[in-house]
């Protein structure tokens, strides 16, 4: 485990430096890529497919490509117009599945309305599903088998374990509450925390007495998609708070990114808390690179590097 990444901002309320941890992870992955190239003469390859011209998706895809190349992996981006049919996209995925040079396939979401995200994800070879969304990878996580884990929950767990380490603590035995029940974050996050011997509750917007449920949490993960939905008085003293939300709001006529947690209200209660931005977000892309290396090793029957 690397050295903890925290900034002391007050007597209480340490900020978890997700951007710093993500950089450290990328640096370690770059060493793994160099070692794999030297040992086997092969380079991990990630292909990202984007359909349409959604501005936020374009930014994410560009960043993924740049960081993939920065650690020495091969990066390909396939851009398709929003007039592409679902059958055409499925045919492309089939070609990528059969291409032995391609180790990771990521189809950027959201897709145009005439396409089924579930059908598209299901078409990806689960061994190349570096997003970890395929039902086979979800099933492996649910029963404790080694598969590819969704990037955001994986990065969140890394930050939680690092925060606990920084305080001489462990996650085992803690009461964890996840607000949000999506297949992308909430459900896999619950499985990961169960694997750390936490007692886990999945809550959501319709949970009865949600504020009281949150106040009982030693670990609080917010993934509900509502800006500042969780207020400071919902946070237990000395809780670990992971804010997965990324919401754009207007403040004085200018756009601002905020999380699902009211950061200013929660930081003085929390023992450790992720900010938005520069918290969980950078870890998502770093874990995508991590998953691509793991997929590359598994496909080629190479030992997976320690820590990947």
Question: What token pair was written down for 93?
Answer: 């995925």
As given in the structure block, the two tokens for residue 35 are 């070692």
DSSP bridge partners of 248: 257
CB atoms within 10 A of CB 277: 15
- Look up residue 71 and give its two tokens: 């650690």
The one catalytic residue in 108, 174, 196, 228 is: 108
In DSSP notation, 104-166 reads EEEEPSSPPTTS-HHHHHHHS-GGGBTT--SHHHHHHHHHT---PPPHHHHHHHHHHHHHHHH
Instruction: Tell me if residue 74 falls in helix, strand or coil.
Output: strand
Q: 67-86: b or e for each residue (b if 16 or more CB lie within 10 Å)?
A: bbeebbbbbebeebeeebeb
**Given 17, 127, 129, 131, the catalytic residue:** 131
For residue 267, how far is the Cα from the chain centroid?
Answer: 22
Write down the catalytic residue from 17, 64, 187, 191: 64
Q: Among this protein's residues, is 108 annotated catalytic?
A: yes
Residue 27 backbone phi and psi in degrees, to 5 = -60, -40
Active site residues: 64, 108, 131
């Amino acid at each position: 485990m690397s050295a903890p990444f925290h900034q002391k901002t007050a007597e209480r309320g340490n900020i978890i430096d997700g951007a710093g941890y993500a950089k450290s992870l990328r640096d370690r992955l770059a060493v793994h890529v160099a070692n794999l190239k030297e040992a086997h003469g092969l380079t991990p390859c990630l292909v990202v497919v984007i359909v349409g011209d959604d501005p936020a998706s374009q930014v994410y895809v560009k960043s993924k490509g740049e960081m993939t190349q920065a650690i020495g992996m091969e990066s390909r981006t396939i851009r398709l117009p929003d007039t592409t049919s679902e059958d055409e996209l499925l045919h492309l995925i089939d070609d990528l599945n059969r291409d032995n040079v391609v180790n990771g396939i990521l189809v950027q979401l959201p897709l145009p309305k005439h396409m089924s995200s579930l059908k598209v994800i299901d078409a990806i070879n689960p061994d190349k599903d570096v997003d970890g969304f395929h039902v086979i990878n979800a099933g492996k996580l649910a029963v404790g088998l080694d598969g590819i884990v969704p990037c955001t929950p994986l990065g969140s767990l890394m930050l939680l374990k690092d925060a606990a380490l920084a305080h001489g603590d462990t996650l085992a035995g803690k009461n964890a509450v996840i607000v949000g029940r999506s297949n992308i974050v909430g459900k896999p996050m619950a499985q990961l925390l169960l694997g750390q011997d936490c007692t886990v509750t999945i809550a959501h917007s319709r949970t009865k007495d949600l504020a009281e449920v949150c106040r009982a949490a030693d670990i609080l993960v917010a993934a509900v998609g509502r800006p500042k939905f969780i207020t400071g008085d919902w946070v237990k003293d000395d809780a670990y708070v992971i804010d997965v939300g990324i919401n754009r709001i207007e403040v004085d006529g200018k756009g601002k990114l905020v999380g699902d947690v009211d950061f200013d209200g929660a930081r003085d209660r929390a023992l450790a808390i992720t900010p938005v931005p520069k918290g969980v977000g950078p870890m998502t892309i770093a874990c995508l690179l991590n998953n691509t290396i793991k997929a590359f090793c598994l496909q080629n029957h190479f030992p997976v590097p320690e820590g990947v």
